[in-house]
Amino acid sequence: MEPTEEQFLVFNALETLALIQGSLYDERRGYWYILTLSPILPISIILPSGEIVPLQFVQDDESI
């Protein structure tokens, strides 16, 4: 699975603002893991819908 258009839009916006320090795309799950300069969401995930969630969001989800 490749990143969705929504994920690209969010990622590009964050990259344009120089907030991305690193990233990794998980093809199996469709999640884009990002390391940011944000003190609120330092390690986050861009879901296929484009929503940004904290890493704990998927760690607490037992269906994954």
pLDDT tens digit string along 9-26?
A: 999 999 999 999 999 999
Please tell me the pTM assigned to this model.
Answer: 0.86
Q: Does 63 map to a domain?
A: no
Kindly state whether residue 22 falls inside one of the protein's structural domains.
yes
Q: How many whole angstroms separate alpha carbon 11 and alpha carbon 14?
A: 5
- In the chain, the number of structural domains is 1
Residue 62 confidence (pLDDT): 55
- Burial group, residue 20, by CB count within 10 angstroms (0-12, 13-18, 19+): middle
Q: Which domain holds residue 13?
A: 5-57
- Residue 64 belongs to some domain of the structure: no
| pLDDT in single tens digits along all 64 residues of the chain | 899 999 999 999 999 999 999 999 999 999 999 999 989 889 999 999 999 999 888 766 655 4
Residue 62 lies in a domain: no
Tokens 């760690």, located at residue? 59
